[in-house]
Amino acid sequence: MEIPYVDSPRPDTGLTNGKIGTWLFLASEVMLFGALFASYIVLRVGDPNWPDGREVLNIPLAFLNTVVLISSSVTMVMAWASLVRKDFAKFRIFQTLTVLGGVGFMVIKFIEYSAKFHHEPPLLPSTNNFMAVYFTLTGLHAFHVLCGMAINAYFIGPGAKLWKTRPQWFTDRVEHAGLFWHFVDLVWIFLFPVLYLL
């Protein structure tokens, strides 16, 4: 059976089902991170000895990661724009750059985590509430980056076959994957100052 409204909008909403599904999923993600941000606020305002993120965490690495993630968001929209222009070769280049941006982010995150684990004494989630919040929020965010990389890589590899048969559907799918990737960027935009700079 053909799935309806995958590459043409539903008459009542004016949207494809994929786009509605993606936005509703992102709404649930907002609540997931919202719950963790709320926990962070409660723990922070109740602790007179809450450490200064600037003294414990690595600002230059986090700054670099912000730049990497913002840049990969740009390559993601450029990948989608290339498909709208029917330029599949350019799409592949921009989409690959987006995945590489994710790889770069994870490598920097690995360096950052390693420094915490090899610190004397080690800075672990069990060290204090600040480190627990830091590892929970950045860990969950890094997991989202990994998921986004997998989705984006799929559209360079096996998922790309759809371009030959249903180009509009493929373009929409890349747009929806982009929504998720930009959401991951958006979460980091708030995580960076909240954890590292305040």
Concatenating the DSSP letter of every residue in 85-123 gives TT-HHHHHHHHHHHHHHHHHHHHHHHHHHHHHHTSSS--
Closest CA to 113 of 97, 146, 136, 147: 136
CB of 180 to other proteins, least distance (A): 10
CB of 106 to other proteins, least distance (A): 19
For residue 67, the 8-state DSSP code is: H
CB of 183 to other proteins, least distance (A): 7
Question: Based on CB atoms, which residue is closest to other proteins, 54 or 122?
Answer: 54
Spatial distance between the Cα atoms of 122 and 104, rounded to a whole number of angstroms: 25
Per CB under 8 A, residues contacting other proteins are 13-15, 19-20, 23-24, 27, 30-31, 34-35, 37-39, 41-42, 44-50, 54, 59, 63, 66-67, 70-71, 73-74, 76-78, 81, 84-86, 172, 175, 178-179, 182-183, 185-186, 189-190, 192-194, 197-198
Question: Based on CB atoms, which residue is closest to other proteins, 46 or 121?
Answer: 46
CB of 143 to other proteins, least distance (A): 20
Spatial distance between the Cα atoms of 103 and 69, rounded to a whole number of angstroms: 10
Question: Based on CB atoms, which residue is closest to other proteins, 93 or 179?
Answer: 179
Question: Based on CB atoms, which residue is closest to other proteins, 41 or 146?
Answer: 41
CB of 74 to other proteins, least distance (A): 5
Question: Based on CB atoms, which residue is closest to other proteins, 76 or 123?
Answer: 76
Residue type, 173: R
Concatenating the DSSP letter of every residue in 127-196 gives T-HHHHHHHHHHHHHHHHHHHHHHHHHHHHTGGGGHHHH-HHHHHHHHHHHHHHHHHHHHHHHHHIIIII
Closest CA to 151 of 6, 1, 22: 22
